[in-house]
Structure 1
Amino acid sequence: MSYAFPKGGLPDQSGNPEGTAVFTEAYAVLPAVTHTDIVTSFLPGWENSRAWVLARPLSGFAETFAQYAVEVAPGGGSDNPEPDVSAQGVILVASGGARLVIDGSGHDLTEGSYAYIPPGSGWRLWNRGDAPCRFHWIRKSYQPVPGIEVPEPFVTSDREVHPIPMPECDGVWATTRFVDPADLRHDMHVNIVTFQPGGRIPFAETHVMEHGLYVLQGRAEYLLNTDWVSVGPGDFMWLRAFCPQACIATGSEPFRYLLYKDVNRHVRL
């Protein structure tokens, strides 16, 4: 398994500025080449760290989540990583390692580690290793419901959770679900979707959930609204509600992406 992450740097002067980045009323595509050093941010409360902000709530577009790619240098980290007490988070480690402590419980994160952090948690993360720790971080304001408890924190890994094949696909389309879809405590799912070469979504999904899709591995042709786009490792797709979508995996290796969606709540009126 491999996990793409922004390479940073900056193209030289021979590069062609006409690229494949797209921003429309229905979707956005941020190709890996756009994730350069000049678009990183330094976050309050974090030491020796930088972040690519890939998605943020935008009125009239996707409004429920933010998505970062965070690089923590050796010795870097934070004792106060999350400024919003209403925010829950998911972390997927792309490379390197770090020590994560949630409400006093410690966990050693390595490549492929996955952590769910509930709202209001006291947590900290430090890189005590010799190599940078690079991870994907998704944040969403939790929607509490009377009579439903807030989820508990947990730490697992991509390797420990077996993908579940989708119906009627002969196993070429599978989803690694880190949370039981029927668990109403959770109002977001962050899964890994895998297509074997030639696998596809055989219809144009059109639904209320917003999406962030970060391509971890492989290549595909992806339908976004009315447009087919070619995507590969490190590309990010950002979809508002009801944007039609489908894909066909191309190439010789699995096509895998980290998928965010908002679920299990009534629509706010």
Structure 2
Amino acid sequence: MDKPDYFVPRGGHPPQTDLLTGRAVFTEAYAVIPKGVMRDIVTSALPFWDKTRVWVIARPLSGFAETFSQYIMEVAPGGGSDKPEPDDGAEGVLFVVGGEITLTLGGTSHRMGAGGYAFLPPASGWTLCNDGAAPATFHWIRKAYQAVPGIAVPDAFVTNETDVKPVAMPDTDGRWATTRFVDPLDVRHDMHVNIVTFEPGAVIPFLETHVMEHGLYVLEGKAVYRLNRDWVEVEAGDFMWLRAFCPQACYAGGPGRFRYLLYKDANRHMNLRPFR
């Protein structure tokens, strides 16, 4: 596989001469947050994070997607946190798209550059800093871990996308493949954060309709995505947020490959008393 080239948002602000046009949309079944709306004005600060700003691109919403949040974190040199996660019941995944960070986990420091991936189980007591000379940008996906009596909590691990071999989807000649960082049959894990790759001309040839919620951040390329009743053009830096059972399909027209970071909840019974 070619060396990955991930999109990194830069913020800024459009000039007063720009037209009021854009591709952002929020519907009953899906939302599209294009890269052009990830500006300085919509960033936030977080408690106990120094020299850091965050774009919140997904959060639990009643009546929409309810299982996860997703942040794009930008940490300036010298920034980071000794108390990053305020919820001891939350698990997380970090995926680095630009610069370098040092993640300390269980007393061991891990230097993570672009493509770096870390799974952080609940109460793992991790810390993070940017001790380099350039800003670092990474995705942070958070979920309340659903513990099951008799099933162990999964272990923390750190890896890089380049060290994980993509798995081709059946009958696609490798044109549609998924980089899976955990075994999908490992029921210790109640979420999967993978990378999906389409070569030019590859398709999802049917409308997937399933219980898993999705967050899809486009890392590279462009495509036309079918979301519910609509065909939507997306490109590197765009984020798609899909409610459970939203029909979805894709056509990757090229000229380069189309890749996205994909979140989904998995491996748990459905909550039959969601409003208690």
TM range, smaller chain: over 0.9
Residue matched to 1:247: 250
Which ranges of 4 or more aligned residues in structure 1 deviate by more than 3 Å? none
| Structure-1 residue corresponding to 2:138 | 135
| 1:33 aligned counterpart, secondary structure | helix
Paired position in structure 2 for 1:75: 78
Q: How does 1:1-269 map to 2 (within 5 A)?
A: 1-269=4-272
Letter of the 2:21 partner, please give it: E
| Aligned partners of 1:223 and 1:244 also within 8 Å | yes
CA distance in structure 1 between the partners assigned to 2:18 and 2:249 by the alignment: 31
Deviation at 1:251, TM superposition (A): 2.0
Contact 2:205 2:249 in 1 (8 A): yes
For 2:118, the aligned partner's letter is A
- Report the Cα offset of residue 104 of structure 1: 1.3
Take 1:67 and 1:5, find their aligned partners in 2: how far apart are those partners?
Answer: 15
| d(CA) in 2 for partners of 1:17, 1:85 | 42
Unaligned runs of 5+ in 2: none
Q: Secondary structure at the match of 1:260?
A: strand
Given that 1:201 and 1:246 are in contact with CA atoms closer than 8 Å, whether structure 2 keeps it comes out as yes
1:5·1:69 contact (CA, 8 Å) conserved in 2? no
3-state DSSP class of the match of 2:36? Answer: helix
1:103, distance to aligned residue in structure 2 (A) = 2.0
Superposed displacement of residue 252, structure 1 = 1.4
1:5 is displaced (CA, Å) by: 2.2
The number of aligned residues is: 269
Give 1:105 shift.
1.9
Counterparts of 1:9 and 1:207, CA distance in 2: 37
- Secondary structure of the residue aligned to 1:159 is helix
Q: Indicate the RMSD between aligned Cα atoms, in angstroms.
A: 0.6
> In the aligned structure 2, how far is the partner of 1:136 from the partner of 1:17?
28
**Once the 2 structures are TM-superposed, how far is the Cα of residue 16 of structure 1 from its aligned partner?**
1.7
Report the CA distance between 1:18 and its aligned residue: 2.5
- State the alpha-carbon separation in 2 of the partners of residues 5 and 243 from structure 1: 27
